Amino acid sequence: MKRLVYLSLAFLLLLSSLRVASFAERVGSSITPSSLRCEYLVSPLAIDTREPRLSWMIESNVRGARQTAYQIIVSGTAAKTAANEGDLWDTGKVASSQTIQIAYQGRPLNSLQQCFWKVRTWDQNNKPSSWSKPAQWTMGLMESSDWSAQWIGDKLASVENVSAAMLRRTFKLAVKVKRAIIYASALGVYELRINGRRVGDQVLAPEFTDYHTRTQYQAYDVTSLLRSGDNAVGALLGDGWYAGKIGLAQSLVKKPRNIYGNHPRLIAQLEIELANGKTERVVTDGSWRTTREGPIRSADILDGEAYDARREMAGWDEPRFDDKAWEGADVAAAISTKLVAQPNEPIRVRREITPIAVNEPKPGVYVFDMGQNMVGWCRLRGQGPAGTTVRLRHAEMLNGDGTIYADNLRGAKQTDTYTLRGGGNEIFEPHFTYHGFRYVEVTGLQSKPQLDALTGRVFHSAMTETGSFECSEPMLNKLWQNILWTQRGNMLGIPTDCPQRDERLGWMGDIQIFVGTGIFNMDMAAFFTKWMRDVRDAQAEDGRFADFSPHPFGKDKIFTGVPGWGDAGIVVPWHVWQQYGDKRMLAENFDAGKRWVEFIRRNNPDLLWKNKRGNDYGDWLNSDTLIYEAFPRKGGAVSKEIFATMMFAYATDLLSRMAAVLGKDDEAREYAALFADIKAAFNKAYTNEDGRIDGDTQAGYALALYFDLLPEQMRASAVKHMLEGIARYNGHMSTGFHSTYRMMLELTRAGHNDVAYQLIKTHTFPSWGYSIENGATTIWERWDGYVKGRGFQNKGMNSFNHYAIGAVGEWMYRVILGINNDEEHPAYEHFILRPYPGGGLNWAKGFYNSIRGKIESSWSVADGKLNFDVTIPANATATVYVPAKDAVSVTESRKPASAAAGVQFLRMENGAAVFRVQSGKYSFEAR
C-alpha cells in the first residue's frame, strides 16, 4: 500500500513537472518553428544527395523575435522521433540563428532509408520552443547498382504518328503492404497505373534533360494502391522530347524528331515492405507485356495527341486483364544515361479555367475563348455516335473573322483529336503533349457545345507562388498578372522562351533577364537546381555556355557562346544564392562559370569582346526591330560589340563575388582585377570625354550603369544622356530584352523615378500598356505583336507568351512595393524596404514569401499623409525607408517612430527617414 502511495506520488510529481515544463515552453518561447523542408521540398521521397539540407521558418507574433539556438533530431522511425530519440542525428543545442541550408551531418544514409525529423528552437531570451511537427524525407536509389530494373519497350522504331506503347505485368503479394515506393523514369514520357488507378499526378515526367547524360527518375508512394493477393502495374509510354519533335530541330539538324533516340523506354522499380517484415521488389524486365494497339494513336509535345476511345482496353491496368494478345517487352541493351532523383517540383495541373465564350465563326466551327492565354491542355466533355472524331486546335489569337490565328505557331500543330467510343458521356484529356493557347477551335461536334464542354487545365512546374502585387492603377495590376501568367506558361521543367510555336527551348538569355522577377513570383530554388545541371550538361568543351539548355543539337558546334545568353550560367546561380542563401549552387557552378569567362578572355586578349560571339543576338528585339507607323526610328540599339563587352565585364564581376563567397580568395582577387581591367578597356574604347558611350543609346547607358562600368564622376552624365535618349523617343524606350528592365532600375537609382513611372504607365507605342490595350493577357515577345487595325507582326517570330520584357516585374517589386534583398545578407536575413510612391498611384500593397517567411509592404497616400505598413519575418531585420520630410514627422502605431519598440532611427536620406527595424508588424505614418 505504502509502495503504491509513493508510486502515485512520484507519478503525480512527474506529471506536474512535465506539465510545468511544457507550459513554460509554450508561454516561454516567443518563436515556433514551422514549414520544415528538405532540399527545398516538403517530405520528398527521393533524395540522392548524401548531405541533404534542412530548413524551417520561424513564426512569432512578438516584435524582435529571434532564434538563438536550435536542436534537430533525425530518426529512423516515427516512434523514435516521437520519443525524441535521434538515432540518425541529434545536433544537441546548437547556438545559431540559422534556419536554412543546414546540411545533414548524422550517420551515413543508405538508399531507400526513411528519415523522420523535427526541430526546436530557442528565442532571444533563451527560451525553448516546443518541438515542431515532425517531417520526413526518404533517400532515393543513390547508386546505379541499386537499380535491378531494366529499360524496356518494344521493337517498333518511333516514327511520326506512331501510337503510344502500353506496358504491364502482374504480381502477387502474400500479405498486406506496410509501405511501397515505386521509382520510375522513361526515355520518353510516361504515366504509371496500379490496379486501375493513376500513380501520382505528374505531367510529362521525367521532364526534359539531356537524356544522353542524365535522366531524372520520380518516386511515388503507392502503399494505398497495392493489396494482398493479385496486383497489376501498367504504364503508358510516349515519345516526349526523347523521340518526338523538339523545337528548332527541323531547321537546325534537318530532322524534326528522334533527336535523342528512336526507341522510347520505361524503367520502374517497385520496392515493397510487407506487413510481415519481408520485402518484395517488382521491376521492369522481359516478363512485362506490351502493345501498341491502345487508344493513344499518336502523341507529340509540339503537335498534339490523337486518342481513339474505341480502342480503350477496359481493365488493362488490373490483374484480371487477359494480355495474351500483347507481346513480350523488349529489354534494351546497355543504356548509358545516368539516373538521378528529380530535385525539382514535378509538372502538375495547378488550376482550371472555364471558358468565357464560345462562338461559331463558320458553320460547325466552334471557337472557345478561355479568357486567358494559358499553357496546358483541355479536358473535353461530350457525347455522340461511336467513331465521331472531335478535333481541338489551339491558338493564342483570333483572326478578324473570329477564326483562330495559327500562323505564329510555325511547325507546331497543337491539335488534339478525340474519337468517341459512343453510348454516353465521354471525357477526354491528353497525356503526352502541351499547348500554349487562349482559343480552342472545336470541330466534329453534332451541335453547338455548352461553355462547360471544355475546361482549361493549366500546368507547370509546381513551384509555390511566393509573390503578390496590387496597386491603385488597374493597368499595372493587369501587367503584373500578365507577367505571372507568362511565368506559369514557361516553367515546364526548364525555363522556356515560349510555349506554343515549334521552339519551347530553355533559352538562356531570356531567363538571365527574367530570373530576378521569376524568383519573386515563385520559389524557384529546386527548379534551378535541376535546370543548372542542364546548363552544365550543355556547356561546350571549350567553356562556351549554350544558347539554350538542354542543348540537343551538338553543343560544341552550333548555338553556343553568345553574349547575354551564355552568361545565364553565372547570373542564375548568383540570384539563387542571393535569394535563398544557397552556397552549394555557387560551388556547383563556379568552375563552369570560370570556364566561360576564360573562354571569352582567351579569345579576346584586349578585353573587348570582339571575337567568337556565336550567333550574337545582341540586345535582342530593341526598337530597331519594331514596326513604326508614322516614321522610322532607327538607331536605338546598342552595338553588339559594346553589349558583348559589358556582358563579359558583368560575368567576371559576378564570378569574383562567387569566389569570395566560396572562400576562393585568389580567384576572387584575380577576377576582381580582371573586372577592373575590362572596365578600363571598355571606357577607353567606347566612352567619350563628354560622357557619351558610342552609339548614344538608352541601352548603352542603362547597361553601363547597371553593371557599374563607369568611373564615378561619369555616372551623372550617363544618366543625363540616357534621359536625353528617352526624350528623343518622345518619352519611350528604344531598349531591347536585356536593357529594358535594367533601365527602369537605373532610372530609379539615379533619382528619376518619375521617368520610370511614366514609362511603365504609358499606353502609347512601344510600352507594356500598349500591348495591354491591344488585348494582352500575357507578356508578348514584341511590343507590337498585334495591333488593333493593323494586325499581326512577322509570323515567323511572334509569340504571345514570352517573359523577357516582363522582367519589369522586378522593378515593380523593388520600387513600387520596395522589397529589396540586401547583397551583404543573402536570403533576407536582413533586407531593405524602400518603396517609391509616385506615378500618381494612391496606394500599393503586396508581399514576398521569402525563405525566412512573409515580407509585406503596403502604402497609401492621402491628404498629404503617407501610411506604410510592413511585416518583417521573425529572425530577420530590415532597413525601412519611410518617405518623409524629417524624422520627427514619422510615427509608428501613432507613437513617435524613434521611440517605438523594435524601431531605431538611423538617418535621413534622399527624402526618406531611414530606420533599422526588428522583426514584426509595424504601421508607419508620415505627415
Q: Which stretch binds ligand BGC (CB under 6 A): 267-275, 382-390, 505-513, 605-613?
A: 505-513
Nearest to 345 by CA among 530, 140, 507: 530
Closest to ligand BGC by CB, 617 or 783: 617
Shortest CB 622 distance to ligand BGC, Å:
12
Cα 677–Cα 682–Cα 684 angle in degrees, nearest 5: 95
| 497: contact with ligand BGC by CB under 6 A | yes
Burial (Cβ within 10 Å: 0-12, 13-18, ≥19) of residue 237: buried
Q: How far is the CB of 617 from ligand BGC (least distance, A)?
A: 4
Smallest separation (angstroms) from ligand BGC to the CB of 239: 23
Nearer to ligand BGC, 486 or 652 (CB): 486
Interface segment toward ligand BGC; rule CB under 6 A; list 101-109, 452-460, 502-510, 744-752: 502-510
Least spacing, CB of residue 782 vs ligand BGC, in Å: 10
Q: Which CB sits closer to ligand BGC, 441 or 503?
A: 503
Nearest in space to 564 (alpha carbons), one of 545, 577, 551: 545
Residue 280: enclosing H or E segment and its boundaries? strand 279-283
Nearest one of 67, 318, 27 to 170, comparing CA atoms = 318
Interaction of residue 760 with ligand BGC, rule CB under 6 A: no
Amino acid at 889: S
CA 162 to chain centre: 32
Active site residue 503: yes
Q: Do residues 190 and 237 touch, judged by C-beta distance below 8 A?
A: yes
User: Closer CB to ligand BGC, residue 622 or residue 850?
Assistant: 622
Active site residue 909: no
Sheet holding 920-926, edge to edge: 467-471, 843-850, 853-862, 865-872, 920-926, 890-892, 895-896
> Catalytic residue among 59, 191, 746, 781, which?
781
Q: Residue 258 Cβ, how far from ligand BGC at the closest point, in Å?
A: 22
**Spatial distance between the Cα atoms of 339 and 211, rounded to a whole number of angstroms:** 9
| AA identity, residue 332 | A
Nearer Cβ to ligand BGC, position 626 or 797?
797
Q: Which stretch binds ligand BGC (CB under 6 A): 442-450, 503-511, 580-588, 914-922?
A: 503-511
**Rule CB under 6 A: is residue 617 a binding residue for ligand BGC?**
yes
Catalytic residue among 207, 305, 473, 503: 503
Q: CA 241, CA 375: separation in Å to the nearest integer?
A: 17
Cα separation, 858 vs 752, in Å, equals: 22
Q: How far apart are CA 280 and CA 706, in angstroms?
A: 59
What distance in Å separates the CA atoms of residue 99 and residue 106, rounded to the nearest whole number? 17
> How far apart are CB 503 and ligand BGC at their closest, in Å?
5
295 binds ligand BGC (CB under 6 A): no
User: From the CB of 234, what's the least distance to ligand BGC, in Å?
Assistant: 38
Q: What sign for the dihedral angle of Cα 320, 321, 324, 328?
A: negative
Query: Interface mask (CB under 6 A) for ligand BGC, residues 104-133, using x and -?
Result: ------------------------------
Q: Does 510 bind ligand BGC (CB under 6 A)?
A: yes
User: Residues with Cβ < 8 Å from 812, sequence gap 6 or more?
Assistant: 469, 476, 479, 480, 760
Q: Which is nearer to ligand BGC, 305 or 510 (CB)?
A: 510
**606 pairs with which residues across the strands?**
none
Q: Can you tell me which of 154, 502, 503, 810 binds ligand BGC, judged by CB under 6 A? A: 503
- 528 burial (CB, 10 Å; 0-12 / 13-18 / 19+) is buried
Do 313 and 294 form a contact (C-beta atoms < 8 A)? yes
How far from the centroid of its chain's Cα atoms is residue 148's Cα? Answer: 33
Q: Is residue 892 within the footprint of ligand BGC (CB under 6 A)?
A: no
Q: Which is nearer to ligand BGC, 236 or 248 (CB)?
A: 248
Radius of gyration of the chain (CA): 29
Q: Report the nearest approach of ligand BGC to the CB of residue 567 (Å).
A: 12
C-alpha span between 284 and 878 (Å, rounded):
54
Say how many residues touch ligand BGC, by CB under 6 A.
9
| Minimum distance of ligand BGC from residue 436's CB (angstroms) | 12
Minimum Å gap between C-beta 188 and ligand BGC is 25
Asked whether 648 and 609 are in contact (CB, 8 A), the reply is yes
* Residues composing the chain: 927
Residue 498 or 535 with smaller CB distance to ligand BGC: 498
Residue from 54, 259, 498, 668 binding ligand BGC (CB under 6 A): 498
Residue 677 vs residues 108, 214, 567, 670: alpha-carbon distances, Å: 47, 39, 19, 11
The least CB distance from residue 509 to ligand BGC, in Å, is 4
- The torsion angles phi and psi of 20, rounded to 5 degrees, stand at -60, -45
Closest CB to ligand BGC among residues 44, 563: 563
Pick between residue 168 and residue 504 the one whose CB is nearest to ligand BGC: 504
Smallest distance from the beta carbon of 547 to ligand BGC, in angstroms? Answer: 7
Q: Is 271 in the site for ligand BGC (CB under 6 A)?
A: no
| CA atoms 800, 803, 808, 813: torsion sign | positive
User: Among 191-199, 477-485, 495-503, 673-681, which window interacts with ligand BGC (CB under 6 A)?
Assistant: 495-503
545 forms part of the interface with ligand BGC (CB under 6 A)? no
Rounded Cα–Cα distance for residues 351 and 488 (Å): 11
Candidates 126-134, 501-509, 748-756, 831-839; binding stretch for ligand BGC (CB under 6 A): 501-509
**Buried b / exposed e along 700-717 (16+ C-beta atoms within 10 A):** bbbbbbbbebbeeebbeb
**How near is the Cβ of 502 to ligand BGC at its closest, in Å?**
10
Coil, helix or strand for 798?
A: coil
Given the C-alpha cell 531585420, which residue does it identify?
A: 877
**Footprint of ligand BGC on 789-818 (CB under 6 A):** 797
Residues 901, 916 contacting (CB under 8 angstroms) = no
Identity of the residue, 74 or 498, whose beta carbon is nearer to ligand BGC in the bound complex = 498
Region of 561 (left: φ > 0; alpha: ψ -120 to 50; beta: rest) is left
- Residue 507 interacts with ligand BGC (CB under 6 A): yes or no: yes
- Looking at beta carbons only, is 617 or 813 nearer to ligand BGC? 617
**Residue-wise DSSP of 518-573:** HHHHB--HHHHHHHHHHHHHT--TTSPPBSBSS--S-TTTSSB--TTTTTHHHHHH
Strands 830-833 and 877-883: parallel
User: Which residue lies nearer to ligand BGC by CB, 780 or 905?
Assistant: 780
Candidates 436, 509, 543, 785: give the one binding ligand BGC (CB under 6 A): 509
Per the CB < 8 A criterion, the answer to whether 839 and 757 are in contact is yes
247 part of the interface to ligand BGC, by CB under 6 A: no
Check residue 620 for interaction with ligand BGC (CB under 6 A). yes
* Contact call for residues 841 and 761 (beta carbons, < 8 A): no
Binding window for ligand BGC (CB under 6 A); candidates: 504-512, 519-527, 662-670, 763-771: 504-512
**Contacts to ligand BGC by CB under 6 A:** 497-498, 503, 507, 509-510, 617, 620, 797
Active site residues per annotation: 503, 781
